[in-house]
Amino acid sequence: MTIALNATHDPKLRSWVASANEAGTDFPIQNLPFGRFRTAGSNEAFRIGVAIGDQVLDLKAAGLVDTDDMNALMSASVKDRQALRAAISAGLAEGSDKQAAWSKALLAQFKAEMTVPCRIGDYTDFYTGIHHATTIGKLFRPDQPLMPNYKWVPIGYHGRASSIGVSGQVFKRPQGQTKAPDAVEPSFGPSKRLDYELELGFLVGRGNALGEPIAIGDAEDHLFGVTLLNDWSARDLQAWEYQPLGPFLAKNFASTLSPWIVTMEALAPFRAKFERPAEDPQPLPYLDAPSNREAGALDITLEVLLQTAKMRAEGIAPARLTRGNTTEAAYWTAAQLITHHTVNGCNLQPGDLLGSGTLSGPTPDAAGSLMELTLGGKQQITLPNGEKRTFLEDGDTLVMRGYCERAGAVRIGLGEVSGTVAG
């Protein structure tokens, strides 16, 4: 299903929350992403909120929901989700009779403590970034960068949900086995090639019964929304462990999400055609549908920034490393990932997370990892203050941002996801 534009997308729509009308805000009234929050420093239960400008609207306090369970909200039908969005939009719009009451249900975002936006039961990480896969493949297999199955099947592996944290996550440098090319035996110690991976996270809404696959034409009915995801990676641990079963300790020590889920309804103005190069294999019939070809792709600009400990101490803002767009990066759509995940009868559940895999563009300035940007550590990058990096060092903070811009629509953002290597 492709969601049609409606009154909630009207570019002329303005909110009585003044900050939502400011140019460049991630959270205008046309966005309305969901998250879980509580007052910072309190022991309150986390509750469901919607970002509007620099505020959070408490949906329960506003009388819009009767639950604090985000997963229950996510499992609602598309019709019910759209009705809730319409009610939130109408109540936050200029001239609404809800302003007096709902003003009491607002909390400034800087006063809020955020947590992961929903309860994540399972996490599957895919490998949809063809430029990332090709560049990484060339480092290890110059004669065959892509494996024969890559253009036929969405490649994925099951990750670890327990170590997923929210933006602001601070984690210890992972330890494990590594093996130098000229060493007889592996050694044990901290990773020396710690990296980030720029990804989107697709969060499942309504699930499916075990044994009941989700058809490609119905797949987006089961997709609640999108968030930013940093899937941290220890490249030296990964190189030694990944054969024959794939990533393990190199990936499961930390993954970081933005606190906000931008809904598929909010993304409706920013859809794009899904087109394969004519010389490439076209998707098998179960992964193909007119709706997916017409508007299965998402048009999202993604940025990566780095702030070292020294930069932070000196008050220097994070420096941008790369900027790219998902339309150039992803070889498979979110609908195809959901359909392939369930084609064997696997049951998805509300809150399940599907990672896109690293979304790199075709040029180095759109790379989604340091592994690509430094050609496997062979080429240092120099930051504006003169510091150099091949991989992440202790005290480094990595920041990812995403936003959508298109003529005739109001810019919306995915917020920000940041994480810091503690050492």
Catalytic residues: 132
- Cα 125 off chain centre by: 11
Interatomic CA distance for residues 263 and 225, integer angstroms: 4
| Extended strands (E) in 299-363 | 301-307, 319-325, 353-355
To which residue do tokens 């290597």 refer?
421
- Element spanning 398, H or E: strand 397-404
- Measure Cα distances from 27 to 14, 57, 413, 414 in Å: 12, 12, 6, 8
Strand 353-355 and strand 112-115: the pairing is unpaired
Cα 315 from Cα 330, distance rounded (Å) = 36
CA-based radius of gyration for the chain: 21
**Cα gap 154→354, rounded to integer Å:** 12
Beta-bridge partners for 323: 303
Structure tokens at 27: 């959270």
